[in-house]
Structure 1
Amino acid sequence: MFKLLPIIALCTMLGSTAFAQKISPVDSLQNSYATKKAQSVYFELLGPGAIYSANYDTRFKNRQDGLGGRIGISYYADGGDQLFTVPVVVNYLLGKKGKYFEVGAGITYFSVNSNTVFFKSSNNYENGTNDIYYGRKNNSGIFGSLNFGYRYQPADGGFMFRGGVSPIITSEQFVPYWPYISFGYCF
């Protein structure tokens, strides 16, 4: 009986290795991307960058979803009017397999240099003058923004897409339905 014990143990070890599953190359590829920090660059129309912005986005941990952030830059000039913005947003991705719901909050620094028409506080139309002042207006500051939308970002990299609404919050107003749409590349 004791002579059979080593043979039984040997057969058990060989049998357990015979039934072990191999990891396919596809599973191995997916697992390597699942533990990789998701990063992307994209062009966004509207959103927290105002008219448009070029952005870099990353996750804070080595994963495809979860907490992350983005920073962007935008410059627009037309007929003497200039707008410069820098959106900074912290966001969270909920979902899996490259399809996510994105929620975020951030601030945007802006600087505006614009030709603007100002009216005097006391308009005098009786003497035939319309009391209009023409001049340059320089203004800078920050405004808050929120993000709610869909993000398609494949785990193995490539084309990415974002779309949703980004409500704008200032000390003077709230714009609840400011849309955004983004196209870019994730790696």
Structure 2
Amino acid sequence: MKKIKMLILLLISTLVYAQNSKFEKSSLPVQHSVFVELLGNGFLYSVNFEKYIKHNVSIRAGGMGFSKSGVTNKNQRAKVGMFLMPVMANYLMGNHNHKMEFGVGPLFFYVSTTSIDIKEINNIHGFGVRATARMGYVYLPQNGGLTFRLAYTPLMTDVFSHSVGLALGYSF
């Protein structure tokens, strides 16, 4: 019985602390950003969430999914699918609403292919990680609102792949 009372007391004290911390205001004017990026770190596109840790430091995670079905030149049905997830740490330089952004992080991916022949079904799939980076311009209103990004977004694999990303979003 004592253990149950102690557990209830501990739970209540945790809830009270959580209620207090809910009303504490961060010193950061903008704390989060959501945006859709065309091309860029997510290959074709990505939907992203970004958390600002300090005025000039953020972390970001995004995702992109793609699937395509068709017929090969040997009249086999085929399907290709992939999911990519860029995760990045970013550093922002600049004043007010206009900033330069520098970021680096891993790009996690999963790719699967399926081909169906009269005699057999072939499935090939795999996970991987590559390094990606970004360097570009960010319009980020200090008090939140519509955001814009334009960046150079290389992918570092066995060969160095070049890309650019264009993003629109909202910060709050």
> Residue by residue, what CA displacement relative to the aligned partner does 1:106-149 show, whole Å, maximum 9, x if unpaired?
10110011358xxxxxxxxxxxxxxxxx9543122001011000
1:140-182: per-residue Cα shift (whole Å, max 9, x none)? 2001011000000101211101011111011x2111x211111
What amino acid does structure 2 have at the position aligned with 1:184?
G
Greater than 6 Å deviation, 4+ residue runs = none
Match of 1:90 in 2: 89
SS in 1 for 2:41: helix
- What is the RMSD of the two structures over their aligned residues, measured on CA atoms? 2.1
Query: How does 1:43-62 map onto structure 2 within 5 Å?
Result: 43-61=36-54
One-letter amino acid of the structure 1 residue matched with residue 109 of structure 2: F
Question: Is the Cα contact below 8 Å between 1:113 and 1:137 reproduced in 2?
Answer: yes
Residue 154 of structure 1 pairs with residue 141 of structure 2: yes
**Matched pairs, number:** 134
Task: Give the corresponding residue for 1:69.
Answer: 59
Identity %: 30
Gaps of 5+ in 2: 1-24, 70-78, 116-120
Deviation track 1:26-60 (CA, whole Å, cap 9, x = no partner) reads xxxxxx99743431000011122121111011211
CA distance in 2, matches of 1:90, 1:139: 25
Give the gaps of 5 or more residues in structure 1: 1-31, 117-133
CA displacement at 1:83 relative to structure 2: 0.8
Contact 1:33 1:155 in 2 (8 A): no
The aligned residue for residue 180 of structure 1 is: 165
- How big is each residue's C-alpha offset from its partner over 1:60-88, in whole Å with a ceiling of 9 and x where there is no partner? 13xxx311110011111111211101110
Q: Which has the higher strand share?
A: 2
The CA distance in 1 between the partners of 2:111 and 2:28, in whole Å, is: 42
Instruction: For 2:89 and 2:133, locate their aligned partners in 1 and report how far apart those are by CA, in whole Å.
Output: 9
* Superposition deviation, residue 105 in structure 1: 0.3
Is the Cα–Cα contact under 8 Å of residues 34 and 155 in structure 1 kept in the other structure? no
- How do residues 1-187 of structure 1 correspond to structure 2 at under 5 angstroms? 35-61=28-54, 65-79=55-69, 80-114=79-113, 135-170=122-157, 172-175=158-161, 177-187=162-172
SS of 1:113 mapped into structure 2: strand
Change (3 A) 1:150 1:167: same
Distance, in Å, in 2 between the alignment partners of 1:115 and 1:147 is: 33
**TM-score scaled to structure 2, two decimals?**
0.71
